[in-house]
Amino acid sequence: MKAARIIEHHRPLEIQDLPDPQPGPGDAIIRVEACGICRSDWHGWQGDFAWIGLFPELPITPGHEIGGVVEEVGKDVQNFRPGDAVTTPFHMGCGRCEYCQRGVPNICSNVQVYGFVTGLNGGYAEYILIREADFNLIHLPEEVDSVTAAAVGCRFMTGYHGVVRGKVQPGDWVAIQGAGGVGLSAIQVANALGAQVIAVDIDDRKLEMAKREGAVFTVNAHKENVPEAIQEITRGGAQVGLDALGIKETVVNSVLSLRKGGRHVQVGLTTSQEGGNVSLPVDLITASEIDFVGSFGNPHPDYRGLLDLVSSGRLNPKRLVEKEVALSEVNRIFDDMTQFQTNGFNVITQFK
C-alpha cells in the first residue's frame, strides 16, 4: 500500500510503498476512503507535544481523522464485517481500564493516538489497522459519507465535546477563542444548541467563516482588547468560554471574559512556547467561582448523539471541508499550515 511517512521532523513527508497491515484476532483493517490533514499532524511533524508523551520514533504514518470501509477482520471480531462503513475516534482505548469501563475511553489509562505513538500508524495510507476493533470502531449511518466522517474525526468531535463539557444552554453567551478547525466546529455546535456565539481570532477571513457558522459577534484580537470587548457585548461576561488554541493569551483572555459562575473549557493543547504550562488569575477564578474544565476528544459512546445530529442535518461538518486532495499533496498542505494559509479542513481522498 502507499503511505505518506514522516521520516524526519521538518523535512518533507515521503510517499512509500509498505506492506498491507495484517489483523490480529481482535483487529480490523480499514480501507481508508478519506483522512483529514489535521494541524495536530502538523505539530507531530514539527516534533511538538513531547511534553505530553506524543513523540514517536520515526518513521511513522500520521493521520487520525478517518472515514472508510472494513476490508478484513480478525477471527474474534463480532460487531463488524467487511464492507461496513466506519470511522474511529482519534484516541484509541484499551477497552479494559476503569475509564473505558466507565464510558470515557477518551481518557483511557492506556490511551494512544494514531500517528503519534510508536507502532500505531495513522490514516495517510490506503489501509489502517484498528486494534480492539469491537471497542474502537464506530458504525457510520447511511447519511454520513467517508468525507463527512473524516471531517468529524478530530476537530469537529473535539469541538462538539468541548461544548458538551461547557454545559452550554440555549441563550448562553459562548466566547470561542480561535476560529480554526476546532473553533469553527464548536461555533457550529453551540449555534445549533441555541447559544449566542462570539468568535475571537486575529484573521478577518476566519472571522467571516465564523459568522457563516453561526457567530453573532466577532472580535479581532489584534484590534481590540478581547476581555473588554466580550464583557461589553455580553453586559457582564460570557457564561461559557472555550479556548480552541492553547496559547497563553487565549487561555487567559477566555477566563477574563467570563461572568461570575462561568465555565472555561480548555480544548487546545499548548504550543512549544508554553510547554503545557500557563499562568492563570487564580484569585479571580476562586472569588468568581469560575469552573476551569479540560476537554479531550469525544468519548466513543457520545458518537451516537453526534452522528444523529449530523444525519439529521442539524450539524454539517462537511461544510468546513476546504479541499479534497491527493496523498501526494500532503507536503503542500503542511507548508500552507506553516504559513497559516489554510481555511477549514483539507481531506485526503486520493491515495494512489
Q: How far is 200 from 243, CA to CA, in rounded Å?
A: 10
- Residue 128 amino acid letter: I
Is there a domain that residue 126 lies in? yes
> Is residue 180 predicted with pLDDT exceeding 80?
yes
End-to-end CA gap in the chain: 9
Residue 38: give its domain's CATH number: 3.90.180.10
Is there a domain that residue 326 lies in? yes
- Give the three-state DSSP class for 182: helix
**pLDDT for residue 51:** 77
Same domain, 6 and 152: yes
Give me the mean pLDDT over the 161-170 stretch: 98
> Is residue 52 predicted with pLDDT exceeding 90?
no
Give me the mean pLDDT over the 191-198 stretch: 98
**pLDDT for residue 23:** 97
The string over 240-261, giving b where at least 16 C-beta atoms fall within 10 Å of a residue's C-beta and e elsewhere, is bbbbbbbbbebbbbbbbbbbee
Q: Which three cell numbers stand for residue 152?
A: 468529524
Is there a domain that residue 327 lies in? yes
Cell 470501509 belongs to residue: 69
**pLDDT for residue 101:** 97
- Residue 31 amino acid letter: R
Other CB atoms within 10 Å distance of the CB of residue 23? 19
Same domain, 151 and 107: yes
The pair phi, psi for residue 335, each rounded to 5°, is: -65, -40
Instruction: Give the total number of structural domains in the chain.
Output: 2
Residue pair 159/267 in contact (Cβ under 8 Å)? The answer is yes
Q: Which three cell numbers stand for residue 4?
A: 505518506
Cα–Cα distances in angstroms (integers) from residue 301 to residues 29, 77, 80, 103, in the given order: 22, 19, 17, 6
- Mean per-residue pLDDT of the chain: 96
Give me the mean pLDDT over the 256-270 stretch: 97
Domain boundary at 277, 294, 311, which? 294
> Is residue 53 predicted with pLDDT exceeding 80?
no
Residue pair 247/150 in contact (Cβ under 8 Å)? The answer is no
Same domain, 151 and 7: yes
Is there a domain that residue 10 lies in? yes
**pLDDT for residue 244:** 97
Confidence class of residue 69 from pLDDT cuts 50, 70 and 90? very high
Domain boundary at 251, 272, 294, which? 294
Same domain, 288 and 182: yes
> Is residue 198 predicted with pLDDT exceeding 90?
yes
Q: Which three cell numbers stand for residue 352?
A: 494512489
- Give the three-state DSSP class for 299: coil
Q: Does the N-terminal peptide bond of residue 59 adopt cis geometry, omega within 30 degrees of 0?
A: yes
From the list 136, 20, 123, 19, the residue with the least C-alpha distance to 77 is 136
User: pTM for the complete prediction?
Assistant: 0.95
Give me the mean pLDDT over the 148-160 stretch: 97
Residue pair 310/280 in contact (Cβ under 8 Å)? The answer is no
**pLDDT for residue 343:** 85
% the chain with pLDDT above 70? 100
**pLDDT for residue 48:** 85
Q: How far is 107 from 94, CA to CA, in rounded Å?
A: 10
* CA angle, 86 then 110 then 50, to 5°: 100
Torsion of CA 252, 224, 273, 111, to 10 degrees: 60
Residue 266: give its domain's CATH number: 3.40.50.720
Q: How far is 324 from 341, CA to CA, in rounded Å?
A: 16
**pLDDT for residue 188:** 98
**pLDDT for residue 335:** 96
Same domain, 285 and 304: no
**pLDDT for residue 166:** 98
The whole domain housing 263 covers 167-294
Among the listed ranges 11-15, 139-143, 269-273, 337-341, which one has the minimum average pLDDT value? 269-273
